[in-house]
A and B are shown apart, each in its own frame.
Chain A
């Protein structure tokens, strides 16, 4: 092996010792390089939540709550209740290691179980009443469309906005007399909730009268959206809306989203934290016009669980591994975890680590992903394909 300091003479036996130690050094360097390559090629995903700092930006676990959806204040979980939380990520992972660090004043539970499901967060919403839509009276005069709302006419901001909700044939063609018959409401009607629109290089989701700017193409793809459903909007149309906070991979699908199950052929409308089944698919409305998100009904019932045990060198940390093989073919990017304990407990921290299995498929996936990211970085492609 090479010697960078040949000018320093050593006795023969000392030199032999040096050579042996040098071999050990390079062996450890090789092992470190291999470990680093493993970290890069089979990356883990980390999520954490610290109940003592609920507003910390480092909290990547989404919405720790009880069964009723209330925030788990100070990490307290009642014995008959559950702690439910979500993580959002893309990619195939082999297992998830879940760790809970109990509060100093918490009782030590005898049994602590956690289960996991995979889908989209909004699809885990409770099921509500079937969605209904009242029939609408629409008039067309010149190139403008009007909706009769009560005794007033509401104008659609554009033909595009009208077509995001209704068909051309739904409008009754009228002459100018219609504007004399009904007073005109000053508020314009925009796109239907759940419509994807683009302006410049940005894409948005219209929801509850606001625009949610999508933060990147990876989020767009991870959410199950289709580029073919994006409508190009004008500056006037964009100015009709107030911009809301950034829509990231951690956001749930907003109001107006339609989920269509591929296995049971059902449709659901997301509305204010509830998923409402759409029973009458013949209703010509926006629900059929803006594209739906594919989902599987079975993702609600497919789950896996593990029992948490105390870690060897810790008094307060409990952990276990949930295999994720069952979920690998399910649609969605959100894992929902539910923790149940045999007695009331108080949790300080939650840590979830998603680990990849070391296999050829994952290796190929990572390499493909790296190449795509390099291409995207230099403007030769897009991550959303």
Chain B
């Protein structure tokens, strides 16, 4: 009810500005999360000593929910954009390195095998669920 009253006070233009700004905020939060994840993988405790990942994830979750809510209320229809291949490769590489680093203390061959198998399994699951028929 409070949200409804607030929304009626805000014009559609204002809501669109907020919607766009929330997308920017989500981008900033995602970058922070990625950098924090890499920092934490390199040196466990370096980031979580100052801010817990749960807080970061809750913040991201709230931002996503706010974007979805405002998107519905303002009837914004974002056309599907194609995945940026360069970004996708970069993220997969980072994922690969995070996996490798998390297993760095075990046998190297076993580490490479597990990392490779995990990435391969992830790829096939992705194809199975989201791949085109």
Q: Which residues of A contact B (CB under 8 A)?
A: 3-5, 7-8, 10-11, 14, 17-18, 21-22, 25-26, 29, 33, 36, 39-40, 43, 370, 373-374, 377-379
Contact = CB atoms under 8 A, between A and B. Distances in A.
Interface stretch (B2-10, B44-52, B88-96, B118-126): B44-52
A113 to B, nearest CB: 33
Contacts of A26: 24, 28
Given A36-B50, A373-B43, A18 B17 contact: yes
A351 to B, nearest CB: 17
Contacts of B21: 18, 21-22, 25
B19 A5 contact: yes
Contacts, number: 62
Given A8-B78, A14-B13, 12 more contacts: A5-B76, A7-B79, A8-B16, A8-B20, A10-B13, A14-B16, A21-B17, A25-B21, A25-B28, A26-B28, A373-B43, A377-B43
Contacts of A378: 104-105
B116 interface: no
A374 B105 CA distance: 13
Given A8-B19, A25-B24, A374-B42, A379 B105 contact: yes
A16 to B, nearest CB: 11
Contacts of A17: 17
A379 B13 CA distance: 56
A258 to B, nearest CB: 35
B11 to A, nearest CB: 9
Contacts of A22: 20-21, 24
Nearest to B51: A36
Contacts of B23: 4-5
8 contacts: A5-B19, A5-B20, A7-B79, A10-B13, A14-B13, A39-B50, A40-B47, A377-B44
Contacts of A36: 50-51
